[in-house]
Structure 1
């Protein structure tokens, strides 16, 4: 489903270099001493607002259109981001921008783009889904190097939402496979949240090494470990395989196609004892349905979820929207966008913003897809491809 949001489009071109430099310095200060790779990211971030000022100098048409194909739970996030981005244009050209949003399970969304949905940008739940679009010839190789942090402007993690008082005493991953425990989770064949949840459970049971990426030291340690990882013993962990088989066949009564559907099933339809989902979805349930009904449980460790973004090259070159699309994605790294990210319970890359909201986004030991599993290509082939582990172990109820 595509939703349309119309905003006044003002020129971003005349934003002053003084403002640009000030905003850039805020990001640069937030990321000191991260090593060469992260220093380059800080330089990228420090130049973003100044880049906007030059990128869209040419007069634009009266109405520009941008289709963002995103994963399931980001409706609220991009509604806010779109409005902020539009404000950056409004004072100059007097034109308007029509934002179109499409949301659904991340893997299904990637398939829709491959099958012809004319996305200018994709903001999906995991790198594999954008890799699939790249392999279809719609996105040029090297897209992860075009923006800081492998083109992931924010992160998240996977946690538990339980009913008030935690009647089943759910505290750790192994508790999810206990008798008489029902867990609501998205389908890993269609949903990014479902895949991150699968990998979080598998890695935690296997004892994956964790870091604290909310600190500069932990971030450097995590990045270095990911770069040097060569062996991935987690794949051969028998206990983790047994836990996964038990979990999906005995503890999961229904697999929703996306993260938002899982939240609705648990919170509104009152099915299950635990919701296993994105952190922002857990907070959404608290905000929408009341803290008197649910509570969040953070397990001892979890996975660092990194949702990436990319311009769909073939589409923007055909539509003539490349400058707008690139500016839009770069805007996600600016201080005001990062503040919005944190307010909506995603984890911003801006360390200052993350620390500001630490009461709601507490530090938690996290393992990474790269260090633990060798990246998304390996993980997909081992777990989620046709005939891979999930297909072999899952026996849907008849």
Structure 2
């Protein structure tokens, strides 16, 4: 199964790299959305809604091509030539990476509502039914004999959120940096498999049966409950982080492809009520608070959520925790 998924991912990436965005001879407009791992099912549904909406409003057919992988890897693929019209990535820093090359205009974060974040999520635990290792909070993940599954922060934006969610707990419970580092080191010493992306980690835990606990996007954990009824449980930790995926038009590509208008419409429509409800149904937290409250029975809105601003923003967070030689390398290599 894992081998088939890897082959499918490679073929998908090759398809996107060679895909031709723009208008075809029959008038159909094709755009490419380069996204991150756990959004694939949501965008499969959203693309159909958007294509119907756009044709009804403008009388023009749209075909949306989508690509998924670790968010950091996806951002680098756009920098290296993937012909994305829009990106819908796991974190602001990955969009900024593309912006610094000139492919995305400065000020992209203000182009759409809520800092160009039409949905949010948080980080939770997925355990097997009955919770055999009695995992209830982050401190249970550092116990002897607990095998943790989480992806690699070097390639996965979701993994960066996982790391910061755990660190937020450590900062609340340990006063000094040495103790916080010790906690994080113990946690990552218990990581038995570190995949390149969040979906790969879910496959490792669910389909390959490895590990005692998966540190996961909330939406990914909820989707697993739906797909495997009676086999897993979601554990909400006491402390987590407000994960804010970001969306942006890849302005340089969209101009070349003559898809600027449809690309903007594609991202704008994510804030419509219909799309916001689909977001909630897909396990993400809608940006629209009225719609979010419609799903109050689905999400634990009482988890103490830190934000990336508590870490000085993504540039500072990368410098301190994820760049070569920063804290993650320090605790994971020693």
Q: Is this contact kept in 1: 2:119–2:284, CA < 8 A?
A: yes
Map 1:111-150 → 2, pairs under 5 A: 111-150=76-115
Output the CA distance in 2 between the equivalents of 1:390 and 1:135: 24
- State the 4+ residue runs in structure 1 displaced beyond 4 angstroms: none
User: How far apart, in 2, do the equivalents of 1:186 and 1:297 lie?
Assistant: 18
**In 2, distance between residues paired with 1:252 and 1:91?**
49
Identify the match of residue 238 of structure 1 among 167, 178, 181: 178
Aligned partners of 1:309 and 1:93: how far apart in 2? 23
Matched, 1:177 2:177: no
Cα deviation code 1:5-46 (max 9, x no counterpart):
xxxxxxxxxxxxxxxxxxxxxxxxxxxxxxxxxxxxxxxxxx
Q: Matches of residues 284-303 of structure 1 in structure 2 within 5 Å?
A: 284-290=223-229, 292-303=230-241
Spell out the pairing of 1:301-380 with structure 2 (5 A cutoff): 301-363=239-301, 364-370=303-309, 372-380=310-318
Provide the C-alpha distance between the structure 1 equivalents of 2:104 and 2:270, rounded to a whole number of angstroms: 19
1:84 counterpart SS class: helix
Query: CA, structure 1 residues 328+390, in 2 after alignment: closer, same or farther (shift >3 Å)?
Result: same
**Aligned with 1:258 (options 169, 179, 197):** 197
2: distance between equivalents of 1:166 and 1:178? Answer: 15
Instruction: Tell me if 1:101 matches 2:40.
Output: no
1:65 aligns with 2:30: yes
Q: How many matched pairs?
A: 313
How far the C-alpha of 1:91 sits from its partner, in A, is: 3.0
Cα distance between partner residues in 2 of 1:157 and 1:95: 37
Q: Distance in 1 between matches of 2:58 and 2:312?
A: 47
Structure 2 runs not aligned, ≥5 long: 1-11, 17-24
- In the superposition, the TM-score normalised over structure 1's length comes to 0.76
C-alpha separation between the residues in 1 aligned to 2:326 and 2:102? 25
Cα distance in 1 for residues equivalent to 2:313 and 2:268: 24
CA deviation map 1:174-202 (0-9, x unaligned)? 11111100111111111111100000001
**1:248-274 deviations in whole A, cap 9, x for unaligned?**
12x101101111111111111110110
Q: Which structure's CA Rg is the greater one?
A: 1
Residues 93/323 of structure 1: CA separation in 2 closer, same or farther (3 Å cut): closer
